[in-house]
A = this chain, B = another copy of it.
Amino acid sequence: MNINTYIDKHRQRFIDELVELLKIPSVSADPNFKKEVLLTADAVKINLEAAGCDKVEICETPGNPIVYGEKIIDESLPTVLVYGHYDVQPPDPLDLWSSPPFDPVIKKTEIHPEGAIFARGACDDKGQMYMHVKALEIMIQNDELPCNVKFMIEGEEEVGSVSLEWYLEHNQDKLTNDVVLISDTGMISKEVPSITTGLRGLSYVEVEVESSNRDLHSGLYGGAVANPINILSKMIASLHDDDNHITIPGFYDKVDVLSELEREKMAEAPFDLEEYKNHIGINDVHGENGYSTNERNSIRPALDVNGIWGGYTGEGAKTVIPSKAFAKISMRLVPNQDWREITDLFKTHFENIAPKSVKVKVTPHHGGQGYVTPIDSIEYKAADLAFHDVFGKAAVPQRSGGSIPIVSLFEKYLQSKTVLMGFGLNSDAIHSPNEHFGIWNYLKGIETIPYFYKHFTKLYTETNH
C-alpha cells in the first residue's frame, strides 16, 4: 500500500479540511446553534462526495439530520459501516479557553511536538470521524478499497443520539453491514495502541426541588421554611454513602461483577497514579472504596452532578431563599444495568427521599446501555493486526468509562458487532476547554484505518462468510 506517500503529499490539505469543519459551531445541546448544525451536515456530505462515496444523502430524522454515504464495489464482499458524529459539546466555560473554541489554532504541546489542533470537536468527534473520510479517499485514489463501505454520521451524539434509534429502526435494509467501525474513543498513549472493549451506559436526568411559590427573604423566613438548595444538597449528598457506594435501592442489582482474574489482568495495564493526579491537578483521587482508579471509571457505575443552580449567583450578596433549585445528574452504568430501569429507580428514589416540605420533579434526559465486546472476533483481530502493522505492536484491550450508547443499538437493530479504534488521548481535554487533537494522532489514524479494511476483508473471506 502506498498510504504514507499519499498522506505526506496531502498532509496540509487533510489538516486544512478538518480545520474548516471545526469552524462551524455544531453544538447540538443548544437550539440556538440549529443552523450551524445543519451547515455542518452539509459540509460532511460534500466531504464524503469528494472522498469518493457514490451516493450521499442528508437524511431527515425527528431531530438533527444523519449524513449517509456509501461506496459499494461488490455485493459479495463484506461491508464496513463507519459511524461518527458531527455535533459537538457546548464549549462552556468560554473564559477558560486559551483560544476561541471555533477558531481552530495549531499549537505544540509537550505530548504533541508536531502540533495539535485546538478547537471544540477537534478530537470528539469531528477529527476522529474525518480520519475515516480521508482513509476512504486514500483507498479509492490508490485503487485499494478491498470491500464495501457505508458512512452514517449523526448530529445528536452529545445529546443522547435520540433520533438515531428511529433512523436505525426505519433503515435496517439500507444499513446492513458486517461490522460497525467507530473512532470515538481514546488510546492509552502514543506508544500504546488500544482497542476499547467495554463502554459504560448512561442515564441523564434533571431534577427540580421547589419549596415556596416565590423567593423569600432569608431573614424573615430563614430557619422556618425549607430552603430548596439546602434540601437539594442533602438529597444529592444522600445518594452516596460513606464508602461512596450509590444508595439508590436496586442500583447494583444487575451490575456485572468481574472475576478476580479479570481484575488482575486489568491491573496490569500501564497506569501511573501520580501522573494521573498531576495531569488533572487533583490532590487525591476519590471514589468507591475497594476499587482502583481504573476500575472506578470503567467497570463500576458512577453518579455525578453535571450542573447545579439556584438562588442568587451574581456578584455580591443577596439574602434570599429561592423558590426552586435545580441539578443535572448523570449515572454511568456498566454492562447488564438497563438505563431505563436505572432511570426509573432514580426517579422513584429521589421522589421518596424528598421531605414533605418540598415538591420534587425528575425529568429524564436521555440514556444508553453499557457494552462489552469479545476479543476473539474477527473485527477485533483485524483492528489488532492493523495497529500492529502501523505501531509495530499489539493493541491493549481496554474498558472505557465513557458511553457510546449507540453501540448496543447497532446490535439490537442491525445485529452488528462494533469495533472501537480510538486515536484520541486522555489529555485531549474532550468536553473541556482547550479540547485538541494531535496532528500525529490524526494522521496515524488515517494511516491505520486502511489496514483494518484489508485485514477485516481477508479474515472475513477466510472464515467463509
Q: Which A residues fall within an 8 A CB radius of B?
A: 28-31, 89-90, 92-93, 96, 158-160, 186, 200, 202, 204, 206, 211-227, 229-234, 236-238, 240, 280-288, 293-294, 296-297, 300-323, 325-328, 330, 332, 355-359, 365-366, 400-403, 426, 429-434
Contact = CB atoms under 8 A, between A and B. Distances in A.
B314 A431 contact: no
18 contacts: A93-B215, A96-B214, A159-B317, A220-B400, A223-B302, A223-B332, A224-B286, A236-B237, A286-B355, A306-B320, A306-B322, A307-B313, A307-B318, A307-B320, A308-B325, A317-B330, A319-B431, A320-B432
A163 to B, nearest CB: 14
A301 B223 contact: yes
Contacts of A217: 402, 430-432
A281 to B, nearest CB: 3
A92 B314 contact: yes
Contacts of A305: 227, 229-230, 233, 310-311
A319 B204 contact: yes
Contacts of A288: 223
A436 to B, nearest CB: 12
A293 B221 CA distance: 9
In the complex, which of the residues A214, A323, A356 has the most CB atoms of chain B within 10 Å of its own CB atom? A214
A260 to B, nearest CB: 20
B222 A283 contact: no
Contacts of A280: 212-214, 216, 221, 225
B431 A29 contact: no
Nearest to A288: B223
A300 B223 contact: yes
A231 B365 CA distance: 23
Rank and list the top 3 A-B pairs by shortest CB-CB distance, nearest first.
A213-B281, A223-B302, A219-B402
Nearest to A310: B308
Contacts of A229: 236, 304-308, 327
A328 B306 contact: no
A307 B310 contact: yes
Contact of A238 (B89, B224, B237, B306): B237
Nearest to A214: B432
Given A222-B332, A330-B218, A432-B215, A233 B317 contact: no
Nearest to A278: B213
A328 B312 contact: yes
Nearest to A402: B219
A235 to B, nearest CB: 8
Given A225-B280, A280-B213, A314 B220 contact: no
B433 A357 contact: no
Contacts of A216: 280, 431-432
Given A217-B431, A220-B402, A306 B287 contact: no
Given A206-B317, A219-B400, 11 more contacts: A89-B320, A92-B318, A93-B215, A214-B432, A220-B297, A221-B401, A222-B401, A224-B401, A226-B282, A229-B308, A306-B318
